[in-house]
Structure 1
Amino acid sequence: MTKILVVEDEKIIGEMISMYLTDENFTVCRVENGKEGLEELRQFNPDVILLDLMLPDMDGIEVCETMRELSDKPILMISMNTKVNERVRALNAGADDYLCKPFSMQELKARIGVAVRRYKPAFTASSAEEAAAAQEIKWRGIGLDLQKRLVLVEGEPIETTFSEFELMKLLYEHPGRVFTRDELINALRGIDSYVNDRAIDVHITNLRKKIENNPKEPQYIKTVWGVGYKLMPV
């Protein structure tokens, strides 16, 4: 059963989310501040985290950054703030999605479903040999461990968010192909999920910081100006 950690200090909203998700057969743990959220991240070990941007004891962005350091599980930021710069801040802090209040419970469930599907390994193999081959792909100094959802650079594991991993996997499987921003958006977008050009640029920037020797002069992920991005062999 999928476990959801809800970090929400508004009692009515928190209870509504918890009751709905429980009725939908999720296991829910709800806390009301950042400190308790970090504690339950370790103890409850959720599959998905719903994190409010405004908390009574800590800035939600700070909590998100700390959670991302401790876990690669999907983080869905929820907030009444609809400003683009706040969404960008959340993505830069490691959030995988951003949901503006008020939102429908059906939309929330859909986004949780997308997060779970993307995080879980999505390969099958008919034999032990095929499974071993599918588990790790290596190419020009970069490897992808599909089972552990890790990017490896010169054999060293680099943790990514599930959105970053999905982008890397798509580029990795088609080296040299130019993907438009719309194609990358469609690859990440779930049912009405918030993904736009700026979100793609943020994810690419974060990936470059993790895999490139010099992110300002990338050798792997190249920008094709006016179009999108491609992964280049080096």
Structure 2
Amino acid sequence: MSATSEKESASGQKSTGRADKILIVDDEASIRRILETRFKMLGFDTATAADGEEAMDVFNKFLPDIVVLDIMMPKMDGYGVTKEIRKQADTPVIILTALGDVAERITGLELGADDYVVKPFSPKELEARVKCILRRTTSKSGGTPAASKETNNVVAIGHLKVDLNKRQVFKKNERVRLTGMEFSLLELLVNNSGKPFSRGEILQHVWSYPPDHRIDTRVVDVHISRLRSKLETDISNPELILTARGIGYMFQKID
């Protein structure tokens, strides 16, 4: 194997040999150019778009594995693009947000984005976020859940059934669409039912943030809210994903 092949295999290449496909959407040409160059060097198959409408055209033709998306853009902003993507796919989305605009990033997360990076950002930080999310959203569950199980690593509790091998969730026998990061969060909680996790611990386990990394932990809160809206019978009185007061969150204990 050549040095180039080894590098690609360790970064942007899937085990099948196909390169991961990334769509970079930003109205600033310099940002598109820098990120496109860097991700190509990492072995990714890249595509770019300068506005929201172009982004959706490229998305439907290119079928990326992950999208890096600026919020403030002409024609259709990043919120609109995120909504359109979520109507048809669970493709991971990382939004690029302004430094001090907390409301902007929370809105993006509520619409279905998986993570955010604050502008101005380090390209290395963005590369790390992309690699982490692709790893979490394309990996298959490996481990045995600390919970009552059916065969084939399927966990059942009440009206909910979680297939940890196929990364699928069923509510009253109806398939529930979860994004890859939503499933990874649910997987962590289910595999450790009855054990409370702090928001920081969840960020470390699911998003692979280092312990000393400063990030708004509402990333976790928003994802928990999204999960509850999809899985709980009564969102105002959750019975599956519980709040551990003074700590964080936990999944109901499974005997």
TM bucket by the smaller chain?
Answer: 0.7 to 0.9
Alignment of 1:83-232 (within 5 A): 83-123=101-141, 133-134=152-153, 136-191=154-209, 195-232=215-252
Residue aligned with 2:90, SS: coil
CA drift of 1:122 comes to 2.7
Residue aligned with 2:162, SS: strand
CA 1:7 to 1:108, structure 2 compared with 1: closer, same or farther past 3 Å?
A: same
Number of aligned residue pairs: 227
Return the alpha-carbon distance in structure 2 between the equivalents of residues 194 and 210 of structure 1. 29
Give percent identity, aligned residues only: 33
Alignment of 1:76 with 2:97, yes or no, is no
- 8 Å Cα contact 1:53/1:61 also seen in 2: yes
Q: 1:45-97 deviations in whole A, cap 9, x for unaligned?
A: 11110111111101211211221221111101013343211111111111111
- 8 Å Cα contact 1:140/1:233 also seen in 2: no
Unaligned stretches of 5+ residues in structure 1: 126-131
Alignment of 1:60 with 2:78, yes or no, is yes
Q: Match for residue 147 of structure 2?
A: none
For normalisation by structure 2, the TM-score amounts to 0.81
Unaligned stretches of 5+ residues in structure 2: 1-18, 144-150
Residue aligned with 1:175, SS: coil
Q: Match for residue 4 of structure 2?
A: none
CA 1:80 to 1:228, structure 2 compared with 1: closer, same or farther past 3 Å?
A: closer
Return the alpha-carbon distance in structure 1 between the equivalents of residues 59 and 225 of structure 2. 27
Return the alpha-carbon distance in structure 2 between the equivalents of residues 3 and 13 of structure 1. 18
CA drift of 1:42 comes to 2.0
CA drift of 1:40 comes to 2.2
CA drift of 1:233 comes to 5.5
Return the alpha-carbon distance in structure 2 between the equivalents of residues 159 and 87 of structure 1. 22
CA drift of 1:229 comes to 1.6
For normalisation by structure 1, the TM-score amounts to 0.88
Q: Match for residue 128 of structure 1?
A: none
- 8 Å Cα contact 1:74/1:95 also seen in 2: yes
Q: Match for residue 129 of structure 1?
A: none
CA drift of 1:158 comes to 1.2
- 8 Å Cα contact 1:21/1:28 also seen in 2: yes
Partner AA of 1:150 in structure 2: Q
